[in-house]
Amino acid sequence: MMIIDGKKEAENLRQKIKKEIDSLKSKNKKVPGLTVILIGDFAPSQIYVKNKEKSAKEVGINSNVVRYSKDVTEEEVLKKIEGLNNDTNVSGILIQLPLPPQINKKKIINAVSPKKDVDGFHPMNVGNLSSGHDALVPCTPLGCLYLIKKVEKNLSGKHAVIIGRSNLNGKPMAQLLLKENCTVTIVHSKTKDLKQECLKADILVAAVGVAKLVKEDWVKKNSIVIDVGINKVGDKIVGDVDFDTVKDKSRAITPVPGGVGPMTIACLLKNTLDCFKAR
Ligand code: NAP
């Protein structure tokens, strides 16, 4: 059994990105730029944005945060996005969610240029991913695939089961695994027999938000188990998988914390670099 060290893998990926940015900088005197739009004072968003900014700076990305009070108008934000879309120093634009109620999330996401959409939320990127074409892919599923491929390079013919069908995690995860020639099943809250479906998985990805939902007897022996969940139980953070009982049955498993989480930010940096290179 292998515990997948997401912290170490994320650090390796960040080092690789830094090296590439250093070399691009010495050739072209230019570095990627990431602009985050942060609206309001929601405490977790403040922390996420601070971490993203710090990580971006560490690899040499020129990072910038545009802050608005929670009562900013939609018009003002849209105008800002238009300016950022046309700014050649900005490679990637990230809209930190959630947004206040007066701002239409769909309108804002659709306003970001698909070429600068480092979160992979724009319909054009969603469509390209589902057509099997090149696309900017949401950072968390991208990080999950990276970790899965650290364990097994060739995923062709594997049966992947994904618990959760969100646009953020479950659906793009399914598209990525389909592209890898997996047989993919998505299960969700209306699935009849969750346990039986999960038992078919060579690769099981849990992106649910229910603490320790996946038990030892839901998991096929020697499967790869990826836990996306972040659940607060008392003063501890736990995943969607009952790690202590599942770990010995799996071939490889991600812990929470220290598994998928660190990869999400590393993949944001990767997407920003990819946007820069594509221009
Ligand atoms: P979400 O939008 O709430 O989607 C959850 C999905 O799980 C839905 O498809 C839902 O089914 C399904 N579900 C809920 N309860 C279920 C149950 N008892 N049995 C089977 N399926 C069930 O959540 P999300 O945004 O994808 O996030 C999922 C988890 O990942 C959360 O814990 C979140 O905090 C975490 N997360 C982690 C990272 C990271 O970097 N590690 C990033 C983002 C999110 P229905 O569609 O039928 O409602």
* Distance of alpha carbon 113 from alpha carbon 104, whole angstroms: 17
Ligand 1 atom closest to 213 (CA): 18
**Per-chain mean pLDDT for the chain:** 97
Q: Check: CB of residue 144 under 8 Å from CB of residue 168.
A: no
Helix (H) or strand (E) holding 130: helix 123-130
Q: Check: CB of residue 59 under 8 Å from CB of residue 21.
A: yes
- For tokens 């300016």, the residue is 83
pLDDT tens per residue, range 77-113: 999 999 999 999 999 999 999 999 999 999 999 999 9
**If you measure from the C-alpha of residue 209 to the centroid of ligand 1, how many angstroms do you get, rounded to a whole number?**
5
**If you measure from the C-alpha of residue 230 to the centroid of ligand 1, how many angstroms do you get, rounded to a whole number?**
9
pLDDT tens per residue, range 179-225: 999 999 999 999 999 999 999 999 999 999 999 999 999 999 999 99
- For tokens 């659906």, the residue is 171
**If you measure from the C-alpha of residue 170 to the centroid of ligand 1, how many angstroms do you get, rounded to a whole number?**
8
78 HSE (CA, 13 A, CB side)? 12
Torsion region of 212: left, alpha or beta (phi above 0 gives left; psi -120 to 50 gives alpha): left
Q: Is the CB of 29 inside a 6 Å radius of any atom of ligand 1?
A: no
Q: Is the CB of 97 inside a 6 Å radius of any atom of ligand 1?
A: no
User: What's the pLDDT at 159?
Assistant: 98
Enumerate the active-site residues: 52, 96, 119
Which of 48, 187, 189 to mutate for ligand 1's pocket (most ligand atoms within 8 Å of CB)?
189
- For tokens 């939902």, the residue is 213
pLDDT tens per residue, range 121-178: 999 999 999 999 999 999 999 999 999 999 999 999 999 999 999 999 999 999 999 9
Q: Is the CB of 189 inside a 6 Å radius of any atom of ligand 1?
A: yes
- For tokens 């299960």, the residue is 187
Q: Is the CB of 231 inside a 6 Å radius of any atom of ligand 1?
A: yes
Ligand 1 atom closest to 231 (CA): 32
Q: CB atoms < 10 A from the CB of 223, how many?
A: 24
Q: Is the CB of 174 inside a 6 Å radius of any atom of ligand 1?
A: no
Domains in the chain with CATH codes: 28-113 (3.40.50.10860), 139-261 (3.40.50.720)
Query: Collapsing DSSP states into helix, strand and coil, what is residue 182?
Result: coil
